Chains A and B, each alone.
Chain A
Amino acid sequence: MSDAPDTGALASPSCPAPAEADRVTLAHGAGAGASARLFEERVWPAFANAALGARHDGAVLAAPADGARLAVTTDSFVVRPLFFPGGDIGRLAVHGTLNDLAMCGARPLALTCALVLEEGLPLATLSRVIASIGAAAAAAGVPVVTGDTKVVERGKGDGVYVNTTGVGAVPAGRSLLPARVAPGDALLVSGPLAEHGAAVLSVREDVGFEGAFASDCTWLGPLVETLLEAVPSVHCLRDPTRGGLGAALHEIAAAAGAEIELDEAALPVREPVAAACELLGIDPLFLASEGRFAAWLPEADAERALAVLRAHPDGAGAVRVGRVAAGRARVVVRSRMGTRRLLVLPSGDPLPRIC
């Protein structure tokens, strides 16, 4: 959707459609001329930092302190639409990668950013995305130290794809691992679920929902640090992004070789999100969050962890939702009726259904 109507700045009646000069062309990816101008005029101002300022082929970073270990994670973002209630692809690309570092217990050191642009994308749209990446990275205090831009022919992309890689340092003595999840652990979540998935669905596929939807897209670093400082016994953290909490629990159960029991009545889902799920016939357990995490820790520390999370604005809605039991690697739901059933993963992304 190269000419998607999301170019608010260009929508004035005096400027009905962007001229060719205001759009991304193949030359912007060719390495010289237009490409260099694109960087100087649109990327550098948003990202300016010393490493990027070196105009080198890569970034050279200082090694972390003694005893710390490096964490690296990467993710590509292809969300449609590019701008959605509560966020956009740029903010998501920064928070998604920084959150994956946080789940490893790492404090972020640097980000990289690669853009794949579709020929014909309005430059104003590109600038909005870049500004959003820059603002989210700056707010987290993390420099975007190196990057790349490529342009694909019109019709071969969805406007903008973003890849970000994050590098962080895990302080000595910290070890968050799925394999550390053990029978007897409590399972907490840091807030209401499925908010990102519902926000994106609400503006997609002609669903036509009006309502108080906003993605929960947030950097989780500060909340994670607060939790780990106060409760170092945490065994594992996982952010339930694509596939939702349901998919995350399956991954952890498999890695830990244990049964996770989820208490359906305790699952935090705000009413509009629950209502949207009822309307579309989608289980909120399988819709993404982008600003929440699940935490596994010894039962003895669960109440303290909950108090710490709830005292932080990003964790105000934290609740206990389940426990880990000895048994086969699987996820069991204790329903509101008090009965138990296996949670089986759906095949593919959830689709609106009428049946």
Chain B
Amino acid sequence: MKLVDEFRDPALARALAARVVARATRPWTVMEVCGGQTHAIVAHALDALVAERIALLHGPGCPVCVTPLETLDRAQRFALDGGGILCTFGDMLRVPGSAGDLFAARARGADVRVVYAPLDAARLAARTPERPVCFLAVGFETTAPAVAVAARWARQQRLDNFFLLVSHVRVPPALEAIAGAPDARVDAFLAAGHVCTVMGTAEYEPIARRFRKPIVATGFEPVDILHGLALAVEQLERGEARVEVQYERAVRPGGNPAARALVDEVFEVADRAWRGVGVLPRGGLVLRAAYAALDAERAFPALADVAVAESPECRAGEVLRGALRPPDCPAYGRRCTPEHPLGAPMVSSEGACAAYFRFRAAESAA
């Protein structure tokens, strides 16, 4: 594919990896924030190309992983008790709730459907006016415009059977929490290119200044990631801590104003619990009052009544903060595997634990 294949060029990637290693005069720890980057790093084993100088930490950028257990349990409850249709992204089906995943709910009779776009869920509601349709809306700022457009369209069409269970999260508060943690080990961040495509880079300036960490908005292909690493390392070596854009073909300083306006019309910033991390101030998005009629939790008060049971063995929070490497977790690979996950990071193909397990289970593959 054009604009993809060029950025997978092996010769260019290897040259960039060599540049990273050559410029680094000491070992540096760099965190890629986004699970999409984690996926590319492990799929191409890019970390092996720079391992001599760079330790890559997988960040919290997997919305599947940080969706609170309560939200998952409410989604199941909606699907099982309400006679409605629960729609969500394919990523969510295998995430363990308190009583199994959404496949298990399906097996118990729930109508759970995978959609590619939130608008498809709203269109389904328009086609089935006799049944409530709820979209489990997870994702970072990247996904918020797609959900906002579905919400706005449902309101314009006066659909009274379309609802949202919202668990949208924002990246900057998570970066702040990681950079400011007492056990912080990160020297620089590769920021999530697609989040910045929507939001721009201004939110990251105060973080880079305050914590003196370079932040490089980076794309998702091997050449992008290694280029982003090179830029981060070059800043570190010069003693700089700036926001820089590697993913120039998509990221503009102000992001996409129309997309931001859409998000702003439907959502407002609020404190939000991240699974395994805790409540992050201003860490998420909630529906504005004008869209309250779409709020599934308000329309179905019974959804509030869930008793959550998190696995006591899962140490996802430490993994997501970069404080614990997945293989150092006592449950990893033993009681917790992609087949039988205890926590969300072992489920998503970009969850830090599953990424380790799937692609690097054997360091001996080298």
Contact = CB atoms under 8 A, between A and B. Distances in A.
Do A and B come into direct contact in the complex, CB within 8 Å?
A: yes
A353 B91 contact: yes
B139 A354 contact: yes
A8 B222 CA distance: 47
Contacts of A344: 338, 357-359, 361
B143 A354 contact: yes
Contact of A341 (B14, B35, B103, B360): B360
Interface in B159-216: none
A337 B13 contact: yes
Interface stretch (A34-42, A121-129, A273-281, A310-318): A273-281
B94 A347 contact: yes
A210 interface: no
Contacts of B93: 351
Interface stretch (B42-50, B128-136, B301-309): B42-50
Q: By CB atoms of chain B within 10 A, which of A265, A278, A330, A344 has the most?
A: A344
Interface in B109-162: 113-116, 120, 124, 139, 143
Contacts of B362: 330, 342
B89 interface: yes
A353 to B, nearest CB: 4
Given A337-B14, A337-B45, A355 B1 contact: no
Interface residues of A, number: 30
A336 interface: yes
A43 B247 CA distance: 61
A336 B5 CA distance: 11
Given A352-B116, A353-B91, A354-B91, A340 B45 contact: yes
A355 B35 contact: yes
Contacts of A281: 90, 349
Contacts of B360: 341-342
A278 B143 contact: no
A14 interface: no
Contact of A348 (B8, B94, B350, B365): B94
B307 to A, nearest CB: 27
Interface string A322-346: 0000000010100111111110101
Contact of A336 (B8, B90, B116, B348): B8
A354 B89 contact: yes
A110 B43 CA distance: 45
Interface residues of B, number: 46
Given A271-B1, A355-B89, A335 B44 contact: yes
Given A352-B116, A355-B35, A341 B91 contact: no
Nearest to B349: A353
B116 A339 contact: no
Contacts of B361: 342, 344
Contacts of A352: 89-90, 114, 116
Contacts of A355: 35-36, 62-64, 89, 91, 139, 348-350
A1 to B, nearest CB: 14
Q: By CB atoms of chain A within 10 A, which of B114, B116, B120, B359 has the most?
A: B116
Contacts of A274: 1
Contacts of B348: 353, 355
A355 B13 CA distance: 23
B94 A341 contact: no
Contacts of B116: 205-208, 280, 352, 354
A335 B43 contact: yes
A337 B35 contact: no
A338 B35 contact: no
Contact of A339 (B4, B48, B89, B139): B48
Interface string B325-355: 0000000000000110000000011100000
Given A206-B116, A339-B45, 13 more contacts: A206-B124, A335-B43, A337-B13, A337-B14, A339-B49, A340-B366, A342-B360, A347-B338, A348-B94, A351-B91, A352-B89, A355-B36, A355-B348
